[in-house]
Homo-oligomer: A and B are copies of this chain.
Amino acid sequence: MAVRHYTLDFSLSTAVDSASTVSGLMSIFHEQELTETVHDTNGHGYFATFVGKNGRVAILRVHSHGLVTIDLQCYEEDNIAQLDNLLNALEKKLKVLLNGNITRIKKLPAIVRGANVDRYWPTADGRLIEYDIDRVVYEEDSAYQNIKILHSQQYGNILVLDGDVNLAESDFAYTQAITGNGKENYAGKEVLILGGGDGGILAELAKQKPKMITMVEISFCSKVIDGCRMYMRKTCGNILDNLKGDCYQVSFFTEALNTSFLIGRNDKTTYVGQNERRIREEKGNSANLTEALSLYEEQLEKLSCPVGFCKEVVCVPSYLEQWVFYTAWKK
């Protein structure tokens, strides 16, 4: 039984007399059978809590510097229309009471807390994001991470590893970017994919007539592969149905291989092999994490084997933030 948490905030150009504001609102709270307790704030404005039927709770604060905040919590199965009415009545009344003094009215979409299906997955740069997730289609814990596949109406199934959005079925732009946006020729080449458990890169490159693709996954990622084979088929197609094909093999260990391309896929580690001619690398980096990006570039410049690199900012649909992809090459 989730809690719906509504907020309604009035920003003001000047401080207001809390007594008149509060008394103007009381009749609305009382009509809804909410009983108030006024708290001593040691001079930090007015603060009252209201308790109503069915577990409803409201908080009213008139901050002394010119901000009125209202919080309203109710249970998911409460009469939502009634709560909307209460919030609208409070907004309407406050517009009258604070007339001429309002710089902004802000009513956020209700935050749903403790729901069976969690819709809030922050971006890599720490912003609050609500996804349109309506169900969990797969959930497993491996020895090292929590693996979820969640369904979104607009993005299809989304792979979420340890709470980080990893890839959605909508995200072909990701696969395109990490394979070089058509600028690389994989025909007849040997390719090493490090990570890539969702199978997207493998499925795409297998179409491009490579000599051999070796995908190396850490063994604890087999549950990722299992989930993606079943529920991320718009990403991997049928490529994960068999871990070995004419032009590819998936191995669950790590060893150095001499291939033409190396495609790294891991949010935590950088792969640069001295034998590689060309490395496509995705560092799990939000375009906003400029410090992390600089650090990565510093590391590239410090390598014993001199490399050149270029980068590209890409919009991956389900990420809800711009993402930076690097290409590095042996000079």
Binding site for B on A (CB under 8 A): 1-3, 5, 7, 9, 11, 37, 39-42, 44-45, 47, 49, 51, 53-55, 57, 59, 61, 63, 65, 67, 69, 71, 73, 104, 106, 108-109, 111, 113-114, 118-120, 122, 125-132, 153-155, 170, 173, 286-288, 315, 317, 320-322
Number of copies of chain A assembled together: 2
* Pairwise interchain contact A114-B1, C-beta atoms closer than 8 A: no
With A108-B111, A113-B106, A128-B128 known as contacts, the answer to whether A3 contacts B37 (CB < 8 A) is no
With A55-B45, A114-B11 known as contacts, the answer to whether A154 contacts B288 (CB < 8 A) is yes
* Pairwise interchain contact B118-A69, C-beta atoms closer than 8 A: no
Q: Which residues of B contact A53 (CB under 8 A)?
A: 42
* Pairwise interchain contact A69-B127, C-beta atoms closer than 8 A: no
B9, B59, B104, B154: the one contacting A321 at CB < 8 Å is B154
Closest to A39 in B: B51
* Pairwise interchain contact A315-B173, C-beta atoms closer than 8 A: yes
B47, B113, B126, B286: the one contacting A57 at CB < 8 Å is B47
B47, B65, B153, B288: the one contacting A288 at CB < 8 Å is B153
28 A-B pairs with C-beta separation under 8 A: A1-B67, A3-B63, A3-B67, A5-B7, A7-B113, A9-B113, A39-B51, A40-B51, A41-B55, A42-B53, A44-B54, A44-B55, A63-B114, A69-B113, A71-B71, A106-B118, A106-B120, A108-B122, A108-B128, A109-B122, A109-B126, A128-B128, A129-B129, A154-B286, A154-B287, A154-B322, A170-B322, A317-B322
Q: How far is the CA of A170 from the CA of B173 in the complex (A)?
A: 16
Q: How far is the CA of A45 from the CA of B315 in the complex (A)?
A: 45
Question: Interface residues of A: mostly helix, strand, loop or mixed?
Answer: mixed
In the complex, the 9 A-B pairs of residues with the closest C-beta atoms, listed nearest first: A44-B55, A67-B114, A127-B130, A315-B317, A128-B130, A154-B322, A109-B128, A1-B65, A154-B287
Q: How far is the CA of A104 from the CA of B117 in the complex (A)?
A: 10
Q: How distant is A194 from chain B, measured CB to nearest CB, in Å?
A: 27
Q: Which residues of B contact A128 (CB under 8 A)?
A: 108-109, 111, 128-130
Q: Which residues of B contact A57 (CB under 8 A)?
A: 41, 47, 59, 61
Q: Which residues of B contact A170 (CB under 8 A)?
A: 315, 322
Closest to A67 in B: B114
Q: Which residues of B contact A49 (CB under 8 A)?
A: 37, 39, 49, 59
Among A54, A288, A315, max chain B CB count under 10 A is at A315
Among A61, A71, A114, A125, max chain B CB count under 10 A is at A114
* Pairwise interchain contact B320-A69, C-beta atoms closer than 8 A: no
With A104-B118, A122-B108 known as contacts, the answer to whether A51 contacts B41 (CB < 8 A) is yes
Q: How distant is A172 from chain B, measured CB to nearest CB, in Å?
A: 10
Q: Which residues of B contact A106 (CB under 8 A)?
A: 113-114, 118, 120
Closest to A290 in B: B153
Q: Which residues of B contact A120 (CB under 8 A)?
A: 106, 108
Q: A9-B113, A320-B320 are in contact. List 14 more A-B contacts (CB 8 A).
A: A2-B67, A3-B63, A7-B113, A37-B49, A42-B51, A106-B114, A106-B118, A106-B120, A111-B128, A127-B132, A132-B288, A154-B286, A315-B315, A317-B322
